[in-house]
Amino acid sequence: MEIIKNNPYRIAGILSNATERELQKQKTKIKAYTKVGKKIKSDFDFEILDSISRTEESVNKAFSQIEQNQDKVNYSLFWFLNANPFDNTAIEYLKNGDKEKALEIWEKVTNDKDVSSKNFSAFNNLGTYKLLSSSQTEIKEGIEAKIKLIESDYFESFVHSVADQTYTIDKYKQSEKLIDELLTQLNKQYSSSETLQLFSGCNGTTQKYLSKKFTEQPLHNIENRIESCKKKRKADSLNGYKLGLKLLASTKEDLSRLKSLIGNNDLNYKTIADQLANEIMQCGIDYFNASQENDSNEDFLKQAQELNKTTLSIAVGRLVKDRAKDHITTLEEMKDREVNQAIALLQSVKDAYETNEANIRRQIEELKQNDIELKFGLKTINYSAVEENIRNSIDWSKVNELLRDVLTDKNLQKIKECNKNEAKNEFWELMNWIEDRSLKSSTISNIISAYKKIPPQLFFDIISAEITNTDSKSNQITEPFYVENIRYVGLKLNVVSTGNQEVTIYKKYVNPQGQYKNSSNSPEGYTTSSIKTITPSTKVIDLGGYGNSKECTYQVGEHKLEIYVEHFKVFTKTFKVDWSPNKRAELKRELELLQNELSEIQKFKWFRGSETKQREVKEVQDKINKTKKILMNK
């Protein structure tokens, strides 16, 4: 430890309780040595210490440093004194290089003992010796010995041994001075956590002071950065998001250090953490409001939400946490604003249309009941005109104008990013409903087309896929993939998952003619759909099969299996369907025989009537057509 190796008492070549006479004698001796250029040596240049080079200047400085009583006490706590026979013997051992013997003597009179008039100097000497060690365990023991001495009733005896008999000292302030010096020395070698561990055996008073010392700087740093951020935010709220992120990054280390030192239950930590959380939250609020007022193109809602969630992870107090939660809830509601506005508009169009339709149909029913000419069949109702009136019952040009204003590309993007699947499904159904009834479908059709082109946010990447063939119980069919064996054709996606997500996956089976397969249970525009829960551990997504348990329902040829999420095609897999080679050869031979038979029938034969020929040709042609269908599995 530097303060021991270059202690003024060591440079002066004396012990810290040397008498005034001894001190003056040493001073005279050193001056005489320096005049003749003789090397200055000391009996107290122990082997446990590194060598030093004394100069006239350094010696004069050393003597000046130990003139005042307070300085004498300060430096004595980092040096040795000889106050009793135990010290005398131990110091003699140190002079002779026998540090083990010296250590044994001081430990014998201090271990498991209280400080007394007979061993107070031993506590000091033992502490000084151990502070020179490179072992953290021994340094810890050295610190404990020093603190125990200062806090004892016999510290006054120590003070009077090294300073004037009339000198009085506040031992608590002296303890703080010792700790300050130790921290200065130890911080050069150890981290904060390691340094604190060296003091872990000390009492509550020491711990409290240490806590104050270690927290002053990080508290000051965080307070300054909060204040700086506040000024910048007020001057430029549009930059609030970046300011909030910068404040978070610049205070992260100090806040983490505080938490590790004093814990999040400490009042100082709670106060500064809540102040920091409030400022980051305010950055988000001001940024959101300014961005909204300036019609910013940034995704300011998402960014403000990010800052608020960060606030929640920092805040300790309930008031700040509740405020952050309120803002998060409000932003979550606003996050769905676009889809809610779109649904409200589309639903209002549907409601107006259906109200008008109901009124028109009611009028028609009243007319049928009350009009005499209708009752007697003298005139009829033009139902085509009725349907036309229903379709024209609302102002479609105004509807299209509203659709263009509300369903912009930007808003469609936000709707696609919304995580409320139920709301998005409602939005999709309403758009399709309006497209079916709109007089000018180009506006809503263009909007639907634009929405389909927006990629969904997926928490998985598709790496590869394999076509599956299963029976009605989802058991894998191991026979070759031929018409004879194909039943339910499915798909397994091999994926890399990046998070948790519940997603609806749509499948579209497209046949060789480009038509997709569907049934009465199929979702509109697709063959099947299924809801899948994705987790970080998901490796395979099994989409199941589509087909028939008794026979192959797939035509011969190349098929496509298209995968959609939120009406965006995310993957396509092709597969070929055909008969086994033997079966295909058998069907071709059968077709060839029938074609030969047809050729023979079409030849002229005596005594065969025209009707007979036509009937025979039709019978064979029907067989040929049937065989062709079988060959194509139609």
Q: How far is CA 64 from CA 8, 10, 74, 433, in A?
A: 9, 13, 14, 97
Is pLDDT of 409 > 80?
A: yes
In the numeric block, the tokens 């000024």 are attached to: 231
Backbone angles phi, psi at 461, to 5 degrees: -115, 135
Three-class SS of residue 463? strand
Pairing of strands 568-577, 557-565: antiparallel
Range in 149-163, 254-268, 279-293, 548-562 the model is least confident about = 254-268
Q: What is the CATH number of domain 460-577?
A: 2.60.40.1930
pLDDT of amino acid 591:
92
The tens digit of pLDDT for each residue in 382-397 reads 999 999 999 999 999 9
Please write the tens of the pLDDT for every residue from 410-434: 899 989 988 888 899 999 999 999 9
Q: What confidence tens digit (pLDDT) does each residue in 189-238 have?
A: 888 778 888 888 888 788 888 878 888 888 999 999 999 999 999 999 99
Query: pLDDT averaged over the chain?
Result: 91
Q: What is the DSSP string of 15-62?
A: -TT--HHHHHHHHHHHHHHHHTTPPP--TT--TTS------HHHHHHH
Task: Give the pLDDT of residue 296.
Answer: 76
Q: Which residues pair with 238 in a beta bridge?
A: none
Interatomic CA distance for residues 350 and 514, integer angstroms = 33
pLDDT, position 28: 85
> What is the average pLDDT across 556-577?
96
Statement: residue 455 has pLDDT above 80: yes
* The pLDDT of residue 293: 85
- The top-scoring range by mean pLDDT among 183-187, 205-209, 488-492 is 488-492
Position 440 scores a pLDDT of: 66
Tokens 């992870």, residue located? 313
Provide the token pair at 171.
């031992």
3-state secondary structure of 533: strand
Of all residues in the chain, the percent with pLDDT exceeding 90 is 67
pTM of structure: 0.56
Residue 607: per-residue pLDDT:
67
Q: What is the DSSP letter of 237?
A: G
Give the CA distances from residue 513 to residues 52, 199, 202, 487, 509, in Å, rounded to whole numbers and listed in that order. 97, 82, 86, 20, 11
Question: Once rounded to an integer, what is the mean pLDDT over residues 538-561?
Answer: 95
Domain ranges within the chain, ordered by starting residue: 2-202, 210-335, 337-452, 460-577, 581-632
pLDDT, position 121: 94
Query: 120-131 vs 155-162: helix axis angle to the nearest 10?
Result: 80
Mean pLDDT of 318-337: 86
Residues 146-165 as b/e (b if ≥16 CB within 10 A, e otherwise) read bbbbbbbebbebbbebbbee
Question: Is pLDDT above 70 for 441?
Answer: no
Question: What is the rounded average pLDDT of the residues 436-441?
Answer: 79
SS3 state at 138: helix
Identify the pLDDT of residue 371.
87
Query: What integer is the mean pLDDT of 568-585?
Result: 96
pLDDT band at 606 (very low <50, low <70, confident <90, very high): low
| Choice between 332 and 185, residue whose per-residue pLDDT is larger | 185
154, 195, 399, 433, 591 from 346: Cα distances, Å: 89, 67, 9, 9, 57
Beta bridge partners of 470: 476, 488
- Would the pLDDT of 550 be above 80? yes
- Closest to 3 (Cα-Cα) out of 179, 181, 199, 187: 181
Query: Residue 555: pLDDT band by 50, 70, 90 thresholds?
Result: very high
Q: Say whether pLDDT at 439 is over 80.
A: no
